[in-house]
């Protein structure tokens, strides 16, 4: 698709949803006079069309998550986006003006993607596949990279491995199921009854309704890997999962600060088990590999709903309900 780059050129100010203080969703305010970002070093200036909304955004807004890194207000949240490059960092850069890209940001070290424009290092970008709309593409980078880190990098998943994925219908979970199947694993996923069919369509071999059954009782065999996207703070999910690991198995804890006693409990199990917290990195090469899988149809992102940028507070209320299937985004027309 071709774009009128002159029409997309940035002004001194831009539209953005800014965080004015820590607390309830109302602390997110839509403004049209926010200073536009300044391009420097190896960054590309990108006109954002879609920005993903993630649980870590809501936690940070509330004063938890990674809020300690926000040293000034107002601030712009948002760690993932899809858009069009309007200014590359240099003439022969791999991404040029007019290229459709997706990317992940080190937010809140830097201002985020709930805005009309972002600057992003070219190493954090990937080309958007033609078969992926801008609206959906903005929901992919952070969640898909987290799933990639869990399944491919930290989990080293290979054919025949048995994996348990908690919250399989969520943003990270629905990518994790699909990636695990790409690499030939047997996947059990926990989800509510209303999401059973959804998880089965993603490729899950066993879907456990956590509202009706204890997953440790429902598993057919011990598992080699647990990807915990819930945390021990809810119904001792982590502690119970450790008991489901086969000898030599690995437990991965994803939600920030959700299982502080993980290593002690792994050691107390008295078996050869492994455990790690998981942090997502804005790796453009891994993101490009994910984009190829999406282009081939091996991975299909699910977008539950989009909100206009001015309704960022409502988007946060929606994700805090804990019932989001797949992902949600903010769109900037």
Domain at 87, CATH number? 3.90.180.10
Q: Residue 207's pLDDT band (boundaries 50, 70, 90)?
A: very high
With a pLDDT cut of 70, the percent of the chain lying above it is: 100
Is 289 within a domain?
Answer: no
- Span 251-272, mean pLDDT? 93
Does residue 211 sit in the same domain as residue 131?
no
Q: Residue 300's pLDDT band (boundaries 50, 70, 90)?
A: very high
Task: Provide the residue count of the chain.
Answer: 333
Does residue 85 sit in the same domain as residue 159?
no
Residue 40, helix vs strand vs coil: coil
Is 175 within a domain?
Answer: yes
Is 181 within a domain?
Answer: yes
Averaged confidence pLDDT in the chain: 95
Cα separation, 318 vs 289, whole angstroms:
30
Residue 47 has pLDDT above 80, yes or no: yes
Residue 266 has pLDDT above 80, yes or no: yes
What pTM, to 2 d.p., does this model score?
0.94
- Span 208-222, mean pLDDT? 95
Domains held by the chain: number = 2
Count the Cβ atoms, other than its own, within 10 Å of residue 301: 22
Q: Which pLDDT does position 3 carry in this prediction? A: 87
Residue 258 has pLDDT above 90, yes or no: no
Is 72 within a domain?
Answer: yes
Is 193 within a domain?
Answer: yes
109-128: b (≥16 Cβ within 10 Å) or e: eebbbbbbbbbbbbebbbbb
Residue 305 has pLDDT above 80, yes or no: yes
Cα separation, 238 vs 226, whole angstroms:
9
Is 199 within a domain?
Answer: yes
Residue 167 has pLDDT above 80, yes or no: yes
- Span 164-185, mean pLDDT? 97
Q: Which pLDDT does position 256 carry in this prediction? A: 81
Phi, psi of 237 (to 5 degrees): -60, -45
Is 162 within a domain?
Answer: yes
Q: Which pLDDT does position 172 carry in this prediction? A: 96
Does residue 253 sit in the same domain as residue 307?
no
Does residue 126 sit in the same domain as residue 182?
no
- Span 259-280, mean pLDDT? 94
Does residue 11 sit in the same domain as residue 74?
yes
Does residue 267 sit in the same domain as residue 248?
yes
Does residue 244 sit in the same domain as residue 130?
no
Q: What digits encode the pLDDT tens for the residues 102-152?
A: 999 988 888 999 999 999 999 999 999 999 999 999 999 999 999 999 999
Does residue 163 sit in the same domain as residue 211?
yes
Instruction: Say if residue 241 is exposed, middle or buried (CB neighbours under 10 Å; 0-12, 13-18, 19+).
Output: buried
Does residue 166 sit in the same domain as residue 45?
no
Inter-residue contact 253 to 259 (CB < 8 Å): yes
Does residue 84 sit in the same domain as residue 16?
yes
- Span 169-180, mean pLDDT? 97
Residue 23 has pLDDT above 80, yes or no: yes
Q: Which pLDDT does position 257 carry in this prediction? A: 83
Residue 6 has pLDDT above 90, yes or no: no
Which residues span the domain enclosing 216?
143-277
Does residue 51 sit in the same domain as residue 71?
yes
Residue 61 has pLDDT above 80, yes or no: yes
Is 110 within a domain?
Answer: yes
Does residue 75 sit in the same domain as residue 109?
yes
Q: Which pLDDT does position 9 carry in this prediction? A: 86
């Amino acid at each position: 698709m071709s774009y009128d780059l002159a029409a997309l050129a940035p002004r001194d100010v831009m539209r953005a949803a800014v965080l004015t203080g820590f607390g309830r969703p109302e602390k997110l305010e839509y403004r049209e006079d926010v200073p536009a970002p300044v391009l420097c070093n190896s960054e590309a200036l990108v006109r954002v069309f879609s920005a993903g909304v993630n649980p870590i955004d809501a936690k940070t807004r509330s004063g938890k998550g990674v809020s300690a890194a926000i040293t000034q207000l107002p601030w712009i949240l948002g760690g993932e986006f899809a858009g069009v490059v309007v200014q590359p960092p240099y003439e022969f850069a791999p991404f040029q003006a007019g290229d459709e890209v997706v990317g992940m940001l080190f937010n809140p070290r830097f201002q985020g993607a709930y805005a009309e424009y972002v600057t992003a290092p070219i190493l954090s970008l990937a080309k958007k596949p033609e078969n992926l709309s801008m609206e959906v593409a903005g929901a992919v980078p952070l969640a898909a990279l987290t799933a990639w880190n869990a399944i491919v990098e930290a989990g080293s998943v290979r054919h025949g491995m048995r994996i348990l994925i908690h919250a399989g219908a969520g943003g990270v979970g629905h990518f994790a199921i699909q990636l695990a199947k790409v690499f030939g694993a047997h996947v059990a996923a926990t989800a509510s009854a209303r999401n059973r069919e959804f998880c089965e369509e993603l490729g899950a071999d066993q879907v456990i309704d956590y509202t009706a059954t204890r997953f440790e009782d429902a598993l057919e065999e011990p598992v080699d890997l647990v990807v915990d996207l819930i945390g021990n703070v809810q119904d001792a999910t982590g502690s119970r999962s450790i008991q489901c690991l086969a000898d030599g198995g690995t437990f991965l804890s994803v939600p920030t600060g959700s299982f502080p006693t993980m290593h002690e409990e792994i050691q107390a199990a008295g078996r050869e088990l492994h455990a790690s917290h998981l942090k997502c990195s804005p790796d453009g090469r891994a993101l490009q590999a994910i984009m190829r899988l999406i282009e081939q149809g091996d991975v299909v992102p699910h977008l539950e709903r989009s909100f206009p940028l001015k309704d960022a507070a409502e988007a946060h209320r929606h994700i805090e309900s804990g019932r989001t299937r797949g992902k949600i985004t903010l769109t900037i027309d």
